[in-house]
Structure 1
């Protein structure tokens, strides 16, 4: 069997200003630029950090991010001791962001002590910042299969009034702390209480509990809804779900089976994760690849994947992180596991609640997937397309958050207002 894979993704999304030869590094820098819109970074800081990173060098990435975060965290501690709570809050928040980014490329070796250090410090800094907001952002533990899932409850105020509530989670590689600027505060500004949660395969669930991704995301969302319904500050008839990145699959998958949701947002939409991986192989080889990926031994496919990871910066990160988050031992095993993440066989058609599908024009990972999801929906549905011309063409509209959340949450406001 002969297999071939593309050697390098196009540098899609907003045109690279830095790391022009490394689309994955550029996207992560753009992700930090986007975090600045709600306090998770500063443009000048990100530029200063990037100056100390060598393209494709994961060690230099960690050192530059971690050292800068260390300085901010130290400054925040001094500010807090002197009673400068706003300054401390802001510095702790950005330190949490840079620590989250620091270990991003190191998951090929989950035992690397730098991974644990970055995770612990990111979480600790965020919680220090969260306590300084008014009202304070509440860390929560959501009961789940004999353990708990980490989350945060963002309140509009301390009145205890039942409010429309947004359940918010990331996707393949983000953290619940990151959802502070990826939707959380934008929704609070619009009168939503927000319950951020971290499911299996995601940040704290992998680090602390060894829980790995699963395709039946309704098994995650149903306990989250159960928990939300125990709170007096949640309006049980106006609970919406918004998941980002791979969450563009997770959110509609959950909504297909969890019918207590009043609305669903897939940002950006994903119909078939396995299809996106198979697209890197020539059409005439795909059936052979499908057989080989589940075989006891497939040296040609293993070699093809190794070659792609060596030549392609996106694939190098994608497969190593995928093995870590999915709990598998090889790129081929990750690819095989990903085949189960789809909304075929009538799953998409089971969604009943109004659903919004987002589509970024130059999504680095899921080109064409939002339209496929949209076409299969039989529920009330809306698509919002974001373009490069308006600065919002990157994956999940990174770098254009205020534009994106205005459109997304305006849709949600109108959708929930129409409920009887």
Structure 2
């Protein structure tokens, strides 16, 4: 899709489009997004933060006034939008070191979402803490009704930069509307555990998903024979990795599929893959370090990805971040271990992982489907922002069919 705003900064445009995509399920309003984006100085992280904070504060204050006056529906809707706008305000605040404002914006996003959740009656949305190692992971349980009857269940997590709260707009609400019990959560490296527990990403994601499935199986609303897992963005490699080893899953959805993050970190390094990996993992590689510094000044998307990547991986240099990506792969026979039916989504104009959905699909030996979303449909960008209704309809129609009870 041709940028409608921020023509010289594809990352700013993508994040604006991302906010627009949340209009479909109540996470934004078009005029609020356009007005905010129109006040932002292109490429200026401070301007981005300040303008999204201003909009979020205004919308949150209006929601609070509505709540105080007893207008609960208006309050709920306002808190949902404010939550998403605070998420946008925090988005570019991670760096070396992180901007101290990022915790405040994140916490406001969570508090507004929980205020909205408390006002939801259908579906009911309950904050939960999922036992994980010696701590817990934050999440939300969506119940389709009050019967307590077991239903097909969707576990959802995001990827490199998304939040459990954002999943409300990018799949959770759509799934519960279709009768699913839904469990969303943030894992290690994702916003809740990273902000408040210092937990960073880990490649062996099965050790994250297995405790989540354990938790889900304790809930009366969960049909333990029909639990599906959906991972978005970087979750498109994390969720398949988990499914390769956690065989209680009845279905897997990768939005969009990712096969090997090492391809991302090595593609701009001269030489073959083996030499690139050696340089990334070396004790010293001054020429490569200088190249990373050059990339961050010339490429707006790389600048953000590297800064955020150091934060979520818990490393101190751009090269260390790129080296960490080498461990996030489904090569070496991992993809072939997935047993459950798997949907791999693909975006025609994916700017981050072009070609990787096909690589994952080709290596799967389980029942599999490759689903392409196109630019003509308005769905060609990574994870299909701007076409949420279309994308989720197709994805959940596949899931309905896959999890349908057998006669």
Q: How far apart, in 1, do the equivalents of 2:307 and 2:89 lie?
A: 16
| Alpha-carbon displacement from aligned partner over 1:219-276 (angstroms, at most 9, x marks no partner) | 0000000000001110000100001000100111010000000000011000001112
Task: Please give the alpha-carbon distance, in whole angstroms, between the structure 2 residues aligned to 1:28 and 1:249.
Answer: 21
Give the superposition deviation at 1:293: 1.1
Matches within 5 A, 1:6-405: 14-135=1-122, 136-282=124-270, 284=271, 286-405=273-392
Deviation at 1:419, TM superposition (A): 4.8
Q: CA offsets, 1:180-230, max 9 Å, x none? A: 011000101111010001100001010011000000100000000000000
Once the two structures are superposed, residues 270-302 of structure 1 have per-residue CA deviations (whole angstroms, 9 ceiling, x without a partner) of: 0001112222334x3654332111111111000
TM-score, length-normalised on structure 1?
A: 0.95
Residues in 1 aligned to 2:112 and 2:375: alpha-carbon distance in whole angstroms = 34
Contact persistence 1:245–1:268 (CA under 8 A): yes
Deviation at residue 110 of structure 1 after TM alignment: 5.0
Q: Which has the bigger relative contact order, CA under 8 A and spacing at least 6?
A: 1
What TM-score, normalized to structure 2? 0.98
Q: Distance in 1 between matches of 2:151 and 2:361?
A: 29
CA distance in 1, matches of 2:406, 2:236: 24
Distance 1:94 1:110, change over 3 A: farther
| Aligned partners of 2:265 and 2:323 also within 8 Å | no
Cα 1:261/1:419, change in 2 over 3 Å: farther
The question of whether the paired residues in 2 share the 8 Å contact of 1:349 and 1:378 is answered with yes
Q: Do the aligned partners of 1:289 and 1:301 also contact (CA within 8 Å) in 2?
A: no
Structure 1 gap ranges (5+): 1-13
Distance 1:286 1:123 in 2: 41
How far residue 19 of structure 1 moved from its aligned partner, in angstroms, is 0.5
